[in-house]
Amino acid sequence: MALAIFDLDNTLLGTDSDNAWGEFVVAHNIVDAQTYGALNTKFFNDYLDGKLDVTDYLDFCLEPLGRHSREQLEQWHTQFMQEKIEPFVLPKALELIARHEQAGDTTMIITATNRFVAGPIGRRYGIDIMLASECEEIDGRYTGRSCDIPCFREGKVTRLERWLEETGNDLADAWFYSDSRNDLPLLSMVDNPVAVDPDDVLRAHAEQHGWSIISLRD
């Protein structure tokens, strides 16, 4: 048995759920469309360019959660799943997960996306274990702030190492699947790093180091 670890956005999922949530709240006038929409695009471009300030981004994207009840947010999320996520669920990703599970591997998702957005998507893929950027809650309501170490770049390594220590698991023969240069720190730690429909930086690194490169889209 080994760990099979998956990035979420643009790896298992054929879109970026964080950015898609931003587009959703703009389209449904949950936020100020002009201001929020422009910042959402800027942060997404920063992420693609490998220069995202994750703390600033979490402050931005979590703030609206603090202004609405959990019931309302969950209603919106159900609609979001139908409109922005379900069309981008990748059949080949589901098949890949199934192959690992049939081999007896433990499957998990590790994502920079906050748990409010990412949690139901992970369940859609049938994966129960998820490390994500965390949303602070007080008395059952989101505060609009993040808590814990952001699950991004080296933060993914830190969060995973803590989880391994807490659960008694290890990285022997582990797999990690990702599309992004931002995941190079964690990809470099596992025995089986796999670049999935990778960005240019990750593709070049994978080719240089002899890593597997696959597509879950074609």
Q: Does residue 163 contact residue 186 with C-beta atoms inside 8 Å?
A: no
**Number of separate helices (H) and strands (E) present in the chain:** 9, 7
Smallest CA-to-CA distance from 110 within 154, 77, 79 is with 154
CA distances from 93 to 12, 19, 124, 134 (A): 5, 20, 12, 25
Q: In angstroms, rounded to a whole number, what is the distance separating the alpha carbons of residues 121 and 58?
A: 19
Helices 70-80 and 17-27 cross at an angle (nearest 10°) of: 110
Residues annotated as part of the active site: 7, 9
Q: In angstroms, rounded to a whole number, what is the distance separating the alpha carbons of residues 144 and 64?
A: 6
